[in-house]
Structure 1
Amino acid sequence: MRELRFLGSARWIGFAIFVVALSAVCIQLGIWQFHKLEDRQVRNELVREHLDTAPVPLEDVVPAGSAVEPDQEWTVVEVTGSYDVDHEVTVKFVNRDGRPGVDVLTPLLLEDGTAVLVDRGFTETLRTNARPETLPEPPDGEVQVTGWLRVDSSAGRQATQVFDGQVRAVSSRGMAEHVPYDLRSGYVDLQEQSPASSGLEPEPRPDLGQGPHFFYGLQWWFFAALAIVGYGWFARAERQERRTAAARAARTSPTTDEAGREITPAR
């Protein structure tokens, strides 16, 4: 134990405190990642249930004046109305399988005078900030839309308000000043439509994978273990260095015999 007395020095106490703090932070970050994994698994299960359920009328899920709740997202809904192309906008900076483009967002007017935003799909464009000059037209007259109910984006006003016929994120709140009628909360990702129209690619099914959270959690715990093992490795190296220095000093230090005469070590 005498060889480990150096661990009580200010330098090594400070090092130990740093290692403990670093390990604690890494462990907590690992736990956080595993909690995110659990949250994602719960969300994925809820999404699967919604996607496997038969379509329900939009009014049954989100009546006028009510907001779409997070646990309602991805519910398959059906709604009937007519498209208002005059207030159609595009969602810019959309990327689909490495292809740049826009989503086409068109209000669907309902019988009660309100409207719901419908993301009619994706079209590939040049990698530019400008709104496309021509877009695929929706059907005239009454249409029946079936699609996934989505919550409003939480992005700021600059992203959701219409500028030059475009937005960067979809929100019924951001679009409210762009249309002369009340908008239902959220929006619908179109999957089927009657009568049908062509030229736009519907939104693909959501990613239901577990993501990187499990491996990120293990990674943070590995860092915690590495910090503790590193402390032990440096302490062992310090002890070995002190042993070597003590042995070297013992070999070079003069000694005396029983009569007190100095004995020079043999070289």
Structure 2
Amino acid sequence: MIPLASAEYRYTYYFNPKSASSTYRSLFVELHRGELPGEVNGAVDIHNAFQHFHPMAIGRSCNSFSYTIVRHPFPRMVSAYLDKCVEINAPVEQRFRKQDHMQWIFKPVFGFLGRAPNFDQGFSFIEFLRYLEQALRQRRPLDIHFEPQWNAKFALDAYYRIEDPIEDLLAIYRTIFEESFDQLDLERRIRETANNKLNRSFGEQLQPIYAGESLAGMNFAGLNSLMQQGLRFTYENFMTDESKSLISAIYAQELKAYDYSPDR
């Protein structure tokens, strides 16, 4: 949970990577870049926004209202695994070259598995979840895309689950912006933002869906072979009794806090 705060409207949005955060961070920056000094507001984007809109950086009260946007941990973790571990969205020649991925993902996962790094074979979704369960239990630092979406240190006034009707999010924005809601044309902008969100980790919608056996135990090579055949995945392709049990244990607090079913 990473905070973006508006001093003008006195609220904080806690974003969670892999929970439509790029989409809604873009909206936040678009709405609030005018609050920043001129030399900064032209350069701010979703990647550096937390530096400029962090409550500590603002230095003024911005805690009148706080909310977060969350996603069920089952699809969220499949998306994170495909995007950040298998790197299916990166060009083949650029995969497994990011230093932060090496430090925060590959070295610790391969270390946990007791194997030398092998990016052709990689590791399966189940192996990744077993690592996550152990790492969180031992309170080891994680890549932000795998961090829980709940933190006892943050007192939230509201939350929006991206699976829910957009009217629930509109109600949060109406509370925050009050009379400015209509002046800023927020209903149209929020609806367009919600309609434009795209989960690339599950492939383009026109691709045929993989309909074979579970992919939870398949390594990088197997997954890449399926992608080369033009198939796309759904999170259900990775759900087994073990993967559901592991995710439900790892993210038990957010399942309870946001009233998500562990039996999805």
Per the shorter chain, which TM-score range?
under 0.3
Structure ranking higher in helix proportion: 2
Q: Report the structure number with the largest CA radius of gyration.
A: 1
TM, length-normalised to structure 2: 0.22
